[in-house]
Amino acid sequence: MEITVIVPTYNRVDSLKQCLQALQQQTLPAHQYEVLVVDDGSTDGTARYLRELATRWPAFRFFSQANAGPAAARNKGIAAARGRVIAFTDDDCIPQENWLEVIHTTFQTTNSVGLQGSTYTDRQDITPLTHQIDNEQGNSSVPTCNAAFTRAALLQINGFDEQFPYPHNEDADLAWRIEQLGDITFVSAMRLYHPPRLDSFAKVAKRMKIMESEFRLFFRNRAAYQRKRASSPWKNIYWEIGVKTLGYYLLSRLKYYRQPKLMIQGMALTLIWGFDLLRRFPQFVKSEREQRRLCA
């Protein structure tokens, strides 16, 4: 067994089916990889689909847990993995058919302990209400939707940190700790498609709450954070994101002038995010104190 693929999932049975169909069609010989899905408490028929799939796909296993987030789900998969290499993707992603073959070949021919792949999307379909990963040049955070690491390295650092307050930054934390063991290489041929996923306005409006995870990432990886992201979480949250990114977003919404409803929604979201960052300042202060104590 060369590679174990781990896919955490939560209430996305339709996109999960597309992901797993792509993993069944890989060019890497079937006996060289297995696929593990960890169901993080889904209520949409995911469990029924996984039970049925397990009866006809010998290389497939699944596990279930009460909803605890993607970090805990991935750790559950790591504990059960049999592969020398562990590859990660998400339930709304579609790997190219040679994805695993590229991972296998790269680990065979380099001394890397980790790989980051090229993730692409349909840029023309991106709107203020969609979620997607567009990472074709490499990202210092190493998004876990398209990454692979040696099992030995993952076990040495004890896997993902499950104590992040929101499912955000746990992938950067993992990658930055693994980089202390060896190189993480960007591999452009390790390609994966992340289609834009439409979310509700109400869900997208709450996106800034995940910024609370910046403080744990900083105190666990101070030097890497300052080298790769910003001098402090405060600068990242209120200058890089609150001023520069939201300012860019506000202007970019004008491109939807032929779709007035979408333009108004986009501008409203940007203003809501800015207000939410201000409103959450006391909680951020509390989180900074707590994470400073916990990570000391």
3-state helix/strand/coil string of 73-120: HHHHHHHHCCCCEEEECCCCCEECCCHHHHHHHHHHHCCCCEEEEEEE
Per-residue confidence in pLDDT tens, the chain, 296 aa: 899 999 999 999 999 999 999 999 999 999 999 999 999 999 999 999 999 999 999 999 999 999 999 999 999 999 999 999 999 999 999 999 999 999 999 999 999 999 999 999 999 999 999 999 999 999 999 999 999 999 999 999 999 999 999 999 999 999 999 999 999 999 999 999 999 999 999 999 999 999 999 999 999 999 999 999 999 999 999 999 999 999 999 999 999 999 999 999 999 999 999 999 999 999 999 999 999 999 98
pLDDT of 296: 87
How many other C-beta atoms lie within 10 A of the C-beta of residue 151?
16
Same domain flag for 22 and 169: yes
Which structure tokens are listed for 92? 């709304």
Residues spanned by the domain of 278 = 202-294
Given 150, 178, 199, the domain boundary residue is 199
Let me know whether 259 and 216 are in one domain.
Answer: yes
* Confidence (pLDDT) at 144: 96
Nearest CA to 3 among 35, 27, 25, 26? 35
Q: Same structural domain for residues 42 and 92?
A: yes
Residues 64 and 130 in one domain: yes
Residues 88 and 175 in one domain: yes
CATH of residue 55's domain is 3.90.550.10
Indicate if 110 and 244 belong to the same structural domain.
Answer: no
Query: Do 167 and 277 have their domain in common?
Result: no
Whether residues 172 and 190 share a domain: the answer is: yes
Q: What are phi and psi of 103, to 5 degrees?
A: -60, -50
Q: What is the largest CA-CA distance in the chain?
A: 54
**Domain end position, chosen among 153, 169, 199:** 199
* Together in a domain, 195 and 209: no
Q: Would you say the pTM of this structure is higher than 0.85?
A: yes
Domain end residue (candidates: 145, 179, 199): 199
Do 148 and 270 reside in the same domain of the chain?
no
How many distinct structural domains can be found in the chain?
Answer: 2
231 and 189 in one domain?
no
Quick one: pLDDT at residue 165? 93
Rounded CA-CA distance 90/15 in Å is 10
145 shares a domain with 26: yes
